[in-house]
């Protein structure tokens, strides 16, 4: 389980394929893997009550094994004797005989109560310590619970929704597919077992498991992509048509890796007779973008990739692009459903450190935008310090930018049947939520670059 600095949703499929695990075994492994990662905080609180030493003094590999065993005992329909014996065997194989005896003793204590009884014992009282109670019940760090509660209020929703939000972030997300523009259609995917997506006009829903063996996926005409991520790209590629006042010839994806949004932008740029430049800081991520857009290039889309520092591109190519997507590096607090390990890796300090990069990238995107061009500032986090406060700070510092209402632009990418019912808030930005929209918590803000300042220092209309 311990692959440092790797994303769980990238590691597990690779391991399953390499070990040729499929069917019921793959489903069991997937639930155990993701479930124990999501529940880590709650499991640790329970294990701490069953261990006679601080958990930090337990061998890390043994602690991982104990979490796997405790999750099977408390959260899965595994027979207690089977869960205990298999976990003890794993401890013996991975750590040693002494670890096996220790694991056996600990798991016997864990199995003496069910999950509800353990929660009653180890979680702080809800009335006296709401944050601490929610942190244990929903297995999120305290700081994340506080940040998400503040985010709900800051984006115009009720703080009382925090239980629903945390629960949604612990639910296994459905597999969402994206159809590359012009390369496939829903009928073909239905023939392969998919169904229509919930929100995005380019989305399809996959029933379960890994769709990687499907021909449209292997051929690069379909990919896995959350519907919230799709809507962020579609807001700029489709919904901004009436908002762009510049010559609409050159588009830019400033933080393009791993390439899902770049592929949507590139596919839709053809209808505007535009080209797309996709920029990524790291070479290996540029290669991911190249793979994502390869089939679109073969079909005639004019997509160029470049490994470069996005914070300097606005200086190098000022005023060139009519549409700019800047999906900034962020804490990932909006994607905890699919990357549950992020909640345990991130700290409040990370958010502060990312803020400088986010501001620099947005400033560069605005510099790269042509007068009348539109910039989509996007994050996969609802944290106020990564969303509203970044935009507000940039608006305060510049007199050549106006914030647009993003709601209709987002709605342009939504299926007709869902357009009237989708909740997009009070604007001008849109914040999507797992418990409301069934997507990652994507933030989408649209900014328009105004014309050069007048002699009085004010931008022209």
Task: Report strand pairing: 275-280 vs 250-253.
Answer: parallel
Q: What element of type H or E holds 299?
A: none
Taking 3-state DSSP, the helix, strand and coil percentages for the chain, each rounded to the nearest 5, stand at: 50, 15, 35
Cβ(237)–Cβ(264) below 8 Å: yes
Residue 391 tokens, joined: 């935009």
**DSSP secondary structure string for all residues of 199-233:** SBTTEEEE-SS-GGGSHHHHTTSEEE--HHHHHHH
Question: Could you tell me if residue 427 is left (phi over 0), alpha (psi between -120 and 50 degrees) or otherwise beta?
Answer: left
Count of helix runs (H) and strand runs (E) in the chain: 22, 12
190-210: burial string, b at 16+ Cβ within 10 Å, e else: eebebeebbbbbbbbebeebb
The sign of the CA dihedral 299, 297, 367, 353 is: positive
Please state, in angstroms and rounded to a whole number, the distance separating the CA atoms of residues 395 and 55: 47
Q: How far apart are CA 124 and CA 380, in angstroms?
A: 30
Place of tokens 């043994």: 62
Residue 430 DSSP SS3: strand
How is residue 446 annotated by DSSP?
Answer: E
How far, in Å, CA of 365 to CA of 327, rounded?
Answer: 10
Active site residue 255: no
Query: 């399809």: which residue's tokens?
Result: 204
Looking at the DSSP bridge assignments, the partners of residue 349 are none
Q: What angle do CA 146, 147, 150 make, to 5 degrees?
A: 85
Q: How many CB atoms lie within 10 A of CB 105?
A: 13
Active site amino acids: 380
């Amino acid at each position: 389980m311990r692959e440092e600095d790797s994303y769980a949703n990238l590691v597990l499929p690779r391991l399953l394929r390499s070990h040729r695990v499929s069917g019921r075994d793959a489903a069991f492994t997937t639930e155990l893997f993701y479930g124990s990662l999501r529940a880590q905080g709650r499991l640790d609180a329970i294990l701490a009550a069953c261990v006679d030493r601080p958990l930090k003094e337990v061998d890390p590999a043994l602690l991982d094994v104990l979490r796997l065993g405790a999750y099977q005992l408390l959260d899965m329909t595994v027979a207690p004797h089977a869960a205990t014996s298999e976990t003890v065997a794993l401890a013996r194989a991975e750590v040693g005989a002494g670890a096996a005896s220790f694991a056996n003793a600990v798991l016997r204590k864990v199995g003496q109560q069910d999950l509800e009884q353990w929660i009653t014992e180890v979680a702080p009282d809800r009335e006296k310590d709401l944050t601490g109670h929610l942190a244990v019940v929903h297995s999120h760090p305290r700081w994340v619970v506080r940040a998400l509660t503040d985010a709900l209020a800051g984006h115009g929703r009720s703080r009382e929704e925090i239980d629903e939000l945390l629960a949604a972030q612990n639910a296994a997300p459905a597999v969402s597919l994206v159809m590359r523009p012009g390369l496939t259609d829903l009928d073909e995917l239905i023939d392969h077992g998919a169904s229509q997506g919930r929100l995005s006009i380019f989305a399809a829903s996959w029933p379960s498991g890994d769709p990687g063996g499907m021909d449209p996926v292997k051929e690069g005409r379909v990919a896995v992509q959350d519907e919230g991520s799709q809507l962020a790209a579609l807001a700029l590629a489709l919904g901004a048509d009436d908002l762009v006042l510049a010559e609409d010839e050159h588009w830019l994806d400033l933080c393009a890796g791993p390439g899902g949004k770049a592929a949507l932008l590139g596919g839709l740029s053809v209808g505007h007779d535009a080209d797309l430049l996709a920029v990524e800081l790291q070479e290996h991520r540029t290669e991911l973008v190249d793979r994502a857009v390869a089939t679109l290039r073969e079909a005639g889309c004019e997509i160029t990739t470049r490994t470069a520092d996005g914070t300097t591109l606005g200086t190098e190519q000022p005023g060139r692009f009519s549409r700019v997507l800047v999906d900034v590096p962020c804490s990932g607090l909006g994607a905890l459903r699919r990357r549950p390990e992020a909640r345990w890796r991130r700290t409040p300090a990370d958010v502060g450190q990312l803020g400088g990069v986010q501001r620099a990238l947005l400033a560069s995107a605005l510099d790269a935008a042509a007068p009348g061009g539109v910039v989509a500032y996007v994050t996969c986090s609802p944290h106020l310090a990564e969303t509203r406060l970044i935009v507000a700070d940039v608006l305060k510092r510049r007199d050549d930018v106006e914030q647009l209402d993003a709601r209709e632009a987002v709605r342009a990418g939504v299926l007709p049947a869902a357009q009237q019912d989708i909740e997009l808030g009070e604007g001008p930005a849109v914040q999507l939520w797992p418990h409301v929209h069934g997507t990652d918590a994507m933030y989408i803000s649209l900014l328009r670059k105004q014309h050069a300042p007048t002699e009085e220092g004010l931008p022209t209309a």
